[in-house]
Amino acid sequence: MRNRNYLQHAAQAEQHLLQSAFDTAAVGKIRVLKAGRAVRNTTMRCEANRFELCGGNIVHAEPALWRRIRTRRGLHHLCNEDGMRSRRQNGLVVLAIALAVAVVYTVYLVAAGRARNDIHAAGDRQLQIIALDLESVLEKFETLPFALGFQTDISGLLENPADQALRAGVNRTLQSIQRQSKVSAIYLMDRDGNTLASSNFDDALSFVGKNFGFRPYFRDALGGKAGRFYGIGSATSEPGYFIAQPVYTRGAPREGARPIGVMAVKISLAEFEQAWRSSEEPIALADRNGVVFLSNRPAWRYHSTRPLTASEQHELAGTLQYARRTISPIGMLPEPERAGFGEHVTKPVGRLGWQLLLFPSQARVTRSATLAAGAAALVLAVAAISVWAAYQRRRRLEERSASRKALQQAAEELDRKIAQRTDELLAANRSLETKYAKLKETEQLLRSTQNELVQAGKLAMLGQMAAGVTHELNQPLAAIRAFADNAVTFLGRGQTDKAGENLSHISAATARMGAIIGQLKGFARKSHEAVSSVDLAQSIHASAMLLEGDFRRQGAQLDIDIRDAVSVLGDSVRTEQVLINLLRNALDAVEDAQPKRVAVSLCREGGHAVVRIRDSGPGIPEQVAQHLFEPFFTTKAAGRGLGLGLAISSSIVQAMNGQLTACNHPGGGAEFMIRWPAPVEPAQAEGGQVVHV
């Protein structure tokens, strides 16, 4: 009974200690299969070598600890101590992580604020330079309309607007001054706002005759003070800055006098937009209502930085400042167009309450803050890793002594398993060697059978071409006989010249017969599967030569289009076999068609050589296309084919790393396409077309 209780207590001790080790990481080394379950034969060492588990049993413990383990109360006390220690460790880890996060976040905020201040300071300096340039341009022409108002011709034209000669002279004067000063326009208006003279008098969009009395700059100048305004021109639809000055009667004192007209100058500020486009950060110039009218972001132009009130919208509509455009906030633009809009630096400029805006890139602030936070995190990580490495080193030293005994047992078990696995591997190797030998025999038999099948296909094709070849040979034989008889006759008459001509014809006929027979012999011989460079153009012409008689006898037209001289790696005999088979099928397809036409083309497409064979036949039925390349499938009449031609051709093309496909051409008929890789870059040949009838 005492032994049984001891075993029960030991089992409970194992279960509680393993569970505590899994939950609190109080073990030195443990492998977990499932939650709460540990692998047998696992060594666990706890409490700084106070006890050790091996194989699920307590194999070593200090004497005092043995007594505590033997009682349930002592076991629970030990587990409670481990749990408290584990909770303290977890609390310290969580606190350290929280402090590290707080430090990194604080560094991020401080770095972001500092980077934001630096960027704003740099932006303020940049705006200061831009504002000086802009104000210098505006002030440069501030006195031009005032000075022009003292011209005698100007006041004279206002007093006598019907004088056409005077008007023409003023127009030419204003045009000369405008061209010299490089302003957009200079024009003179009477008290009602009607334009009497203008520098663009000879343009299609001339200001002459236009009324600008509704413009604020006209009303201000007519009131005796300088008028300034920016807006889109109502005549030219081009924006500009307008400066106007009152014109008085010649010789009359200006104090308290009533103006008789207004002289205005229009200045284009487009060159500033061109200069701002070199900046990656958005730059904008807005009026006193916040409406942007100049910017290196074209989508922001004539949009406001804030929603406009009803009175502001009414004021803009009354002055036609922006040509009746609907002014909407930039924030309502689509996301890509309003990119960069947000926090900005402002600088007042000009006399109309304009604001020069610069939108610094927030990505720079984020990048600087992220780099600083990353550096802080890196420092903390190095410190944490150093502490963790020291802790792990202490644990490794503790585990090392506990692992030696388990390693010795594992080594003995490993030796036994290695011997067992070695015997199994030797048996498996012998089995694989036997299977490999059988596989080599099967592969050799398959290759031999395939070669015989290819040779049989060539011989069957030779049988189909026999009639045409016989016809091609009979013609030269008949010609040879006729020329020989004529040569005998001419020799009898002593006409050796004519006899020589007949003998030359006989030699040409025998050469043609030799070429045909040579092609047949080359096609009929067995292939040795030697890989070499195959000239596709030469193979196409050789195949066409063998079928020339069949095409002529059937009245079909064969078009050969060699666009590029392309070579591939493969077997020339098998290549010609594929081409002859496809040409023969195309010839059979046009047997009942009108017109009877077969076209062959060769070209290079990228790194591939492509041969297309198209016929004018009825095409490929849908139910036939699914089985087109299957062995022994044929649509020909009995006795005209075994259905192996396309299957053999497809296997030959695949063996050369190519692809054979078929489809119906949109222009009618079927089209077969062979695509071969062309690794060798051949010399380009001029495209040509050869027609056989």
Q: Residues with Cβ < 8 Å from 375, sequence gap 6 or more?
A: 107
What are the tens digits of pLDDT across the range 451-477? 666 666 655 555 555 555 565 566 567
What are the tens digits of pLDDT across the range 596-652? 899 999 999 988 999 999 998 888 888 887 777 777 667 665 555 556 678 788 888
Higher pLDDT, 74 or 279: 279
pLDDT given for residue 278 in this prediction: 82
Q: Could you give the domains of the chain? A: 141-268 (3.30.450.20), 272-360 (3.30.450.20), 530-692 (3.30.565.10)
Distance (Å, whole) CA 321 – CA 319: 5
Work out the average pLDDT over 212-239. Answer: 88
pLDDT given for residue 244 in this prediction: 94
Work out the average pLDDT over 530-540. Answer: 85
Q: How far apart are the first and last CA of the chain?
A: 112
Distance (Å, whole) CA 320 – CA 34: 79
- Structure-token match 């504002």, residue found: 131
Distance (Å, whole) CA 195 – CA 171: 11
What are the tens digits of pLDDT across the range 244-285? 999 988 777 777 788 999 999 999 888 888 888 888 788 888
Burial 620-637 (b: 16+ CB within 10 A, else e): beeeeeeebbeeeebeee
What are the tens digits of pLDDT across the range 560-570? 999 988 989 88
Indicate the helix (H) or strand (E) that contains 78.
helix 72-140
pLDDT given for residue 632 in this prediction: 67
Please check the confidence at residue 56 and state whether its pLDDT lies above 90. no
Burial 246-273 (b: 16+ CB within 10 A, else e): bbbeeeeeeeeeebbbbbbbbbebeebb
Higher pLDDT, 10 or 421: 421
540, 519 contact by CB (below 8 A): no
Higher pLDDT, 234 or 390: 390
pLDDT given for residue 598 in this prediction: 93
Lowest mean pLDDT among 46-60, 222-236, 250-264, 295-309: 46-60
Higher pLDDT, 444 or 24: 444
List, in sequence order, every beta strand (DSSP E) within 108-224: 185-190, 195-198
Q: Tell me the H-state helices in 494-571.
A: 496-524, 536-546, 548-554
Cis bond before residue 595 (omega within 30° of 0): yes
pLDDT given for residue 238 in this prediction: 87
